[in-house]
Structure 1
């Protein structure tokens, strides 16, 4: 039995495709071949192709390995750095429980 693909909304699939395209463009700007990047990231060329297509079935760890090869790993730190909604909730002093309430 194989792994199940996550079910994503079309707008979220578009985000992943854009991420994959950005990774591909970064590779091309550095004049690196798919063989070079896949070897350095210790992944197969088909997996790199899936990443560059924005496949949702590829683990985030493999995306990170490719970003490391391209020298872009610190870009992951930008995710959720400016959490506007979280800051609004914090500013409104809304209480958030440590855990969800127990079901009865």
Structure 2
């Protein structure tokens, strides 16, 4: 059996392309060659170039290793950290017990 082909929506492709470009810019800001980063990340140079192009078939492990080399691994911890939609959905499904309204003291004395 062969592998299933990964089909990405245009928006997803754009996100990967932007991520790859950000990684490339981070490498260039640090004045590191593609060869140096690939060697330190223990990946091939073509794999690094695939990452920088935002290739969907490149493993998450390779992305993570490059981010470690560039000192950007903590950026991954920010992914889905502030999940406002998830919190709203969770709050909607929380049920609260309803109580009878409290009686006023005036009504109790009658």
**Aligned counterpart, 1:23:** 23
**Aligned counterpart, 2:73:** 73
Higher RCO structure, 1 or 2 (CA under 8 Å, sep 6+): 1
Paired with 1:2 and 1:35, the residues of 2 have a C-alpha distance of 32
Query: What per-residue deviation string (whole Å, max 9, x for no partner) do you get for residues 56-88 of structure 1?
Result: 000111100000000000000000011111010
SS in structure 1 at match of 2:35: helix
- Deviation for aligned residue 1:5: 3.9
1:14 maps onto 2:8 in alignment: no
Within a 5 Å distance, the mapping from 1:1-104 to structure 2 comes to: 3-93=3-93
Relative to structure 1, the CA distance from residue 74 to residue 88 in structure 2 (aligned partners, 3 Å threshold; closer, same or farther) is same
**Aligned counterpart, 1:101:** none
SS in structure 2 at match of 1:91: helix
Give the TM-score normalised by the residue count of structure 1. Answer: 0.85
- Deviation for aligned residue 1:90: 1.3
* Number of matched pairs: 95
Gaps of 5+ in 2: 96-110
Relative to structure 1, the CA distance from residue 22 to residue 28 in structure 2 (aligned partners, 3 Å threshold; closer, same or farther) is same
Give the TM-score normalised by the residue count of structure 2. Answer: 0.81
RMSD, aligned α-carbons: 1.6
